[in-house]
Amino acid sequence: MATKKEAVTKLERTYNIPLRREYLKVPYWKRTNKAVIAAKEFLVKHMKSENVILGKALNEKIWQHGIRNPPHHVKVVAVRDEKGVVRAELFGAEDKKKVKKETKKKVSAKKVEAPKEEVEQ
């Protein structure tokens, strides 16, 4: 079981961030920019920290369909460390990274020589 000190230093939560209500307030050519800002504001409010970093997979998911069509909501895992830095990553993105690393094992190519047949003369 985690000690009380560890529970205070590291906080991990899963959120489903609603983006639609915020990005509908701006012109359609600025929607995804506003969605990124809305995600950061949501995490500042709910994780109670001013320092928020969005992960690469989350950023790519928000920008997937361009600047005009962001997703209506995104599911994220937010982790606040002991320094107060909040790192948010797309839900399930860490699992993909682990699987990718395991499949990239080095395969040594061993050269197998076929037995030579002697030519009779």
The rounded average pLDDT for each run of 10 residues, N- to C-terminus, in the chain (121 residues) is 62 96 96 97 96 96 97 97 95 73 64 68 60
Residue 101: inside a domain, yes or no? Answer: no
Residue 77: inside a domain, yes or no? Answer: yes
Model pTM score:
0.72
**Residue range(s) defining the domain that contains residue 31:** 11-92
pLDDT at 98: 64
Q: Which residue in this structure is represented by tokens 């950023």?
A: 59
Residue 88: inside a domain, yes or no? Answer: yes
User: 12 near 79, Cβ under 8 Å?
Assistant: yes
What are the distances in angstroms from CA 37 to CA 2, 41, 96, 112? 34, 6, 26, 58
pLDDT at 99: 63
Residue 81: inside a domain, yes or no? Answer: yes
Residue 121: inside a domain, yes or no? Answer: no
Number of domains in the chain: 1
Residue 4: inside a domain, yes or no? Answer: no
CATH of the domain at 26: 3.10.440.10
